[in-house]
Structure 1
Amino acid sequence: MNLINEYSKYSYAILGAGRSGVGIAKFLHNRGIKVFLSESNSEEKIEKEFLELLRNKNIEFETGKHSDKIFDYDIIVKSPGIPMWNELILQLKNAGKKVIGELELSYLFCKCPVIAVTGTNGKTTTVNLIGEIFTNAGFDTKVCGNVGLAFSEILDDINENSIVILETSSYQLYDTELFKPKVSVFLNFTEDHLYWHKTMDNYFDAKMKITGNQDIKDLFIYNYDDEFIKNNLYKYQILAMKSAFTLSNGLDDESLLTGCYLNSGFICYFDNSKNENSKIIKKDQLQIKGHHNIANSMAAILTAKRFNIEDEIIKETLKNFKGVEHRIEFIREINGVKIYNDSKATNPDSTLVALKSFPGKIILIMGGMKMNVNFEIIKMEILDKVKKIIAIGESKQDIFNFFEHLVPVELAFDLNEAIYYSLNSCRSGDIILFSPSYKSFDMFKDFEHRGNEFKKLINAIN
């Protein structure tokens, strides 16, 4: 939606000096729009490159507090990490201020169609896969959002013929009002982020905003195998055309325009409007392994077919796509032991997906920022496949207390010690899997920092 003229007449206060906050501040400032950035953290906690950008552009900003100055601006653009029940946000809304997020504002300035992907897990893999398919098909493709570049950072590089592939979190979607993607994808839904959303219903409501403004010309793709999604869709007025994917051998739902399913080892696609039914690729030809990646591939296929991309381009991209960094990423083999980095696993559901990708003989390194985690999700898979757990971080004692009577558990001081214990606990044919199940903020800046440190330590081993 291109509402540049409408939204160029307002002034903006940006809350948060992270990538999305600085990105939208720069975008607005470059258009001569009055903008002020406010960051509650001290300058020492802000990325140097962001501070330099703000100073070089002469963008007015403050650090160490949110002063009353933000009340002088027409629209407040908040960091997605700030919940709507935050005291400052409530004060701003009570004062009659419009509060939105960077994703919403970026969309209002966007000149081209948007494909949006959400879900508890698998978003990054799926948006990157969709991005590669569209790039290989000749589209001017921009992958952004909650992965890599912020939405606002690519706005100057697009035109009416571009395609934006957007990873969207529940935090970002919660702050939307007019957001209307051409294609929306809902991969899966499991318990997560309840400290922010408070309840599962609130969390699901936020996710469903991805299709809330879509109409009959748009497409909503969802996971037919996800019982929570399938059983709760009836609560929402969905005007978009519906498409779904399943790992079973068919979709018996007349409301679906298109769909993907498995048949005799093939990922198959159908389009009821064209009386089309075709085999796209053998599932064994995918380089990214695991049932979750079959589902992710199906979501990408359905998205690509909506834009009439040829089957052969889709097939070749799927055959060559190697996955994304920090998600069940193979690092190296040491004395017959294969080592994988799954730092992006910030909840047990993600770790469950990783565990299911291997036959067994796993040394599992897990742990991170202390929070309530449901170990029952991974208990049976760990009993079946894990030889030993190495626990790290603030949560290591919780891990030890739950699993000590089920499998051997060793506590490590840090990641370096965890790797040392892991290598001493395995033999040729085993797998070392770093899949934390927790967020990273106790020891690292984010999951990327955590994963990069793990890889650096592994690759330094002689």
Structure 2
Amino acid sequence: MRIAIAWYGAEGQSSYRYFHERGDDVTIVTPQISSQFPLPEGAKAIVGEHAFDHLSDFDVVVRSAALRPDRIVTNGKIWSATNEFFARCPVPIIGVTGTKGKGTTSSFVASILREAGKAVQLVGNIGVPPLDVLSLLQPDDIVVFELSSFQLWDLQKSPHTAVVLMIEPDHLDVHKDMAEYIAAKSGIVKHQTAQDTVISHPLNRYSEEIARQSPGRRMHFADSGEHEVYIRDGAFYRDEQRICGTDAVQLTGDFNLENACAAIAASLEYIDDFAAIERGLRRFTGLPHRLKLVREVNGVGWYDDSIATTPGSAIAALQSFAGKNIVILLGGSDKGADYTPIVQEAQRVGAIVVAIGHTGETIAKLCQSHHVRVIREAGMMPEVVRAAAEIAQPDGVVILSPASASFDQYKSYSDRGDQFVAAVEGIATHGTN
């Protein structure tokens, strides 16, 4: 079978390896090759600006998640690593999607199930590429799969347990509009059966809109109220059963308690061990770049929340430190978001904004019109951190929570976060001079 791997990065590399080892006739088709992902020795490849013009004669085109399906013109079948995994996976899959919190919730689920003695494979953006573990799966394993809208876009089989977290406008630089974004996310439930389960947030209309499309059993999670898994009096509950205290969660922010609620609900589909749930929550101490304390410098806490690429996630970061003196670093590359809500929240909590990156000019103007103190800093991270350090107050916090993507100045959100951490370590060692 003639197979094209359309786009060559981490996922494309995994797909090439999988189909090549299976004995297929595989060609890499990609606009460019990066030094991070060099071509395998002896691999057939079509490389260049117009590489995707040469897909028509392949039997199967395996698209990487970054490539829109409608950009592919072929007489063959359009497929993906995610579709291949779902089609051949012999064990239950817990799929997790949402605008933010996917990685944290997936990690919570994996940690809880492992504490209960389950063998778990965590795959997706935060785990290993799914096709790398397909041949390793054992009959009693459980897969936890973090799923973005790009992976769900053309998914043809849905997970046995689908978790739909809070949804807000995102990736509108790729999706045509919010309707297309929701339609893509809906792939997580679209092919479920009556024997499957969807777990959604009842207070988020987009989460509920997606959940209603499932023919399976519906469950709810939330931080309060009459839901299957919820928080009351400082503890997690299932119906009226106390599971454990919320102090088991080692992460900052009320939104992480909601992520834990969702993870508990998903885990209870497979275990009924409250002690394991508490141990699993305690064991997970967070992922990089997700509201993580870098260190304290001169009484100021510096937090890396570079993963916050939407206004809603940056608002959640501000709310986590309400009552403190806050400096927030906002800005980056544009994903079509409206920054008014995050500026209004900065005004409400009295935060000072350091406006950075490509969207910094827009954010600075909004701050001025809302009477929010703002400093415009167009430099790279060392200059940004020095500017923030000069205005930060003792016992206060500085948060990199940009509400924007990173590609204007950095390779990725993780690169941006790493440079922030390095710059903070720099002022801790050498000061701001």
Query: For residues 47 and 108 of structure 1, do their structure 2 counterparts lie closer, same or farther at Cα, with a shift above 3 Å needed?
Result: farther
Counterpart residue type for residue 434 of structure 1: L
State the 1:67 CA deviation: 5.9
* Alpha-carbon distance in structure 1 between the residues aligned to 2:263 and 2:209: 23
Q: How many residues align?
A: 424
- Return the match for 2:111 from 132, 148, 151: 132
- Return the match for 1:22 from 8, 13, 24: 13
State the 1:23 CA deviation: 0.5
Question: Conserved in 2, the CA contact under 8 Å of 1:24 and 1:106?
Answer: no
SS in structure 1 at match of 2:20? helix
Alignment of 1:322-401 (within 5 A): 322-359=285-322, 360-401=324-365
Larger mean CA deviation between 190-199 and 340-349 belongs to 190-199
Q: TM-score, normalised by structure 1?
A: 0.87
2:43 aligned with 1:59: yes
Query: For residues 436 and 68 of structure 1, do their structure 2 counterparts lie closer, same or farther at Cα, with a shift above 3 Å needed?
Result: closer
Query: For residues 192 and 290 of structure 1, do their structure 2 counterparts lie closer, same or farther at Cα, with a shift above 3 Å needed?
Result: same
- Return the match for 1:430 from 396, 399, 404: 396
Question: Conserved in 2, the CA contact under 8 Å of 1:363 and 1:386?
Answer: no
Query: For residues 446 and 188 of structure 1, do their structure 2 counterparts lie closer, same or farther at Cα, with a shift above 3 Å needed?
Result: same
Question: What's the CA shift string for 1:116-157, capped at 9, x where partnerless?
Answer: 100111101101111111222222212121224222222233
Q: What does residue 193 of structure 1 align with?
A: 171
State the 1:109 CA deviation: 2.9
Counterpart residue type for residue 311 of structure 1: F
Q: What does residue 83 of structure 1 align with?
A: 68
Q: What does residue 414 of structure 1 align with?
A: 380
State the 1:68 CA deviation: 5.5
SS in structure 1 at match of 2:117? coil
SS in structure 2 at match of 1:159? coil
SS in structure 2 at match of 1:71? coil
Question: Conserved in 2, the CA contact under 8 Å of 1:181 and 1:214?
Answer: yes
2:90 aligned with 1:111: yes
Question: What's the CA shift string for 1:38-79, capped at 9, x where partnerless?
Answer: 1112x3xx143x215x22xx3322322416553332111112
SS in structure 2 at match of 1:27? helix
Unpaired segments of 5 or more residues in structure 2? none
Alignment of 1:72-221 (within 5 A): 72-86=57-71, 89=72, 91-92=73-74, 96-177=75-156, 179-221=157-199
Q: What does residue 276 of structure 2 align with?
A: 313
State the 1:112 CA deviation: 2.1
Counterpart residue type for residue 253 of structure 2: G
* Alpha-carbon distance in structure 2 between the residues aligned to 1:157 and 1:448: 29
Question: Conserved in 2, the CA contact under 8 Å of 1:364 and 1:386?
Answer: no
SS in structure 2 at match of 1:194? coil
Query: For residues 67 and 202 of structure 1, do their structure 2 counterparts lie closer, same or farther at Cα, with a shift above 3 Å needed?
Result: closer
Counterpart residue type for residue 15 of structure 1: A
SS in structure 2 at match of 1:416? helix
Unpaired segments of 5 or more residues in structure 1? 1-9, 252-258, 271-276
Question: Conserved in 2, the CA contact under 8 Å of 1:389 and 1:407?
Answer: yes
SS in structure 2 at match of 1:85? helix
* Alpha-carbon distance in structure 2 between the residues aligned to 1:39 and 1:167: 25
Q: What does residue 254 of structure 1 align with?
A: none
Q: What does residue 36 of structure 1 align with?
A: 27
Q: What does residue 240 of structure 1 align with?
A: 216
Query: For residues 338 and 108 of structure 1, do their structure 2 counterparts lie closer, same or farther at Cα, with a shift above 3 Å needed?
Result: same
Q: TM-score, normalised by structure 2?
A: 0.93
Counterpart residue type for residue 278 of structure 1: Q
Counterpart residue type for residue 152 of structure 2: L
State the 1:418 CA deviation: 0.7
Query: For residues 173 and 310 of structure 1, do their structure 2 counterparts lie closer, same or farther at Cα, with a shift above 3 Å needed?
Result: same
SS in structure 1 at match of 2:351? strand
State the 1:108 CA deviation: 2.0
SS in structure 2 at match of 1:427? coil
* Alpha-carbon distance in structure 2 between the residues aligned to 1:425 and 1:291: 27
Counterpart residue type for residue 81 of structure 1: A
Question: Conserved in 2, the CA contact under 8 Å of 1:220 and 1:241?
Answer: yes
* Alpha-carbon distance in structure 1 between the residues aligned to 2:137 and 2:335: 40
Question: What's the CA shift string for 1:375-428, capped at 9, x where partnerless?
Answer: 222133201224321122111211111112422211221111010011111121
Question: What's the CA shift string for 1:207-229, capped at 9, x where partnerless?
Answer: 11101111122211111121333
SS in structure 2 at match of 1:196? coil
Query: What is the identity percentage for the equivalent residue pairs of Structure 1 and Structure 2?
Result: 27
Larger mean CA deviation between 20-29 and 288-297 belongs to 288-297
2:239 aligned with 1:263: no
SS in structure 2 at match of 1:460? helix
Question: What's the CA shift string for 1:1-52, capped at 9, x where partnerless?
Answer: xxxxxxxxx43111111111111110111121221111112x3xx143x215
